[in-house]
Amino acid sequence: MSGFVFSEKPIGIESGEGAYLYGEDGTEYLDFGASYAVATLGHDHPAVTEAVQTQAEKLTYVQASYPVDVRTELYEKLGTLAPGDVSNVWLCNSGTEANEAAMKFARSATGRSKIIATKRGFHGRTMGALAMTWKDKYKEPFEPLAGDVEFVSYGDGEELAEAVDEETAAVFLEPVQGEGGIHPAATEYLETAREATEEAGAALVFDEIQTGLGRTGLLWACEAAGVEPDILTSAKGIANGLPMGATLVADWIAEDPGNHGSTFSGGPVVCAAANATLETVVDEDIPGHAAAVGEYLKSEIETATEEHDLPVREVRGQGLMLGVQVKRGANRILKNLAISEGVLALPAGRSVVRLLPPLIVTEDHADEFVDAFTEVLR
* Binding-site entries: 95-96, 122, 125, 207-210, 262-263
Please state, as a whole number, how many other Cβ atoms lie within 10 Å of the Cβ of residue 111.
9
25: enclosing H helix or E strand:
none
Nearest-angstrom CA–CA distance, 33 and 37: 6
> Are 185 and 220 in contact, with CB atoms under 8 Å apart?
no
At residue 165, what is the residue type? D
Q: Which of 244, 248, 311, 252 is nearest to 275 (CA)?
A: 244
Cα-based angle 218, 49, 277 (whole degrees, multiple of 5)? 15
Whether the Cβ atoms of residue 205 and residue 95 lie closer than 8 Å to each other: no
Burial of residue 145 (CB within 10 Å: 0-12, 13-18, 19+) is middle
How far are the Cα atoms of 201, 211, 258, 327 from residue 192, in angstroms, in the given order? 14, 20, 28, 33
What residues form the annotated binding site for pyridoxal 5'-phosphate?
95-96, 122, 207-210, 263
Contact residues for 180 (Cβ-Cβ < 8 A; gap 6+): 120, 121, 122, 134, 154, 174, 348, 349
Q: β-pairing, 203-207 with 168-173?
A: parallel
Asked if residue 204 lies in contact with residue 193, where contact means CB atoms within 8 angstroms, the answer is yes
CA distance 23 to 339: 12
Residue 144, preceding bond cis, omega within 30 degrees? yes
Are the C-beta atoms of 98 and 262 separated by less than 8 Å? Answer: no
Cβ-based neighbours of 284, under 8 Å, separated by 6 or more: none
Nearest to 266 by CA among 59, 81, 9: 59
Question: Which residue ranges are tagged as binding site for substrate?
Answer: 125, 262
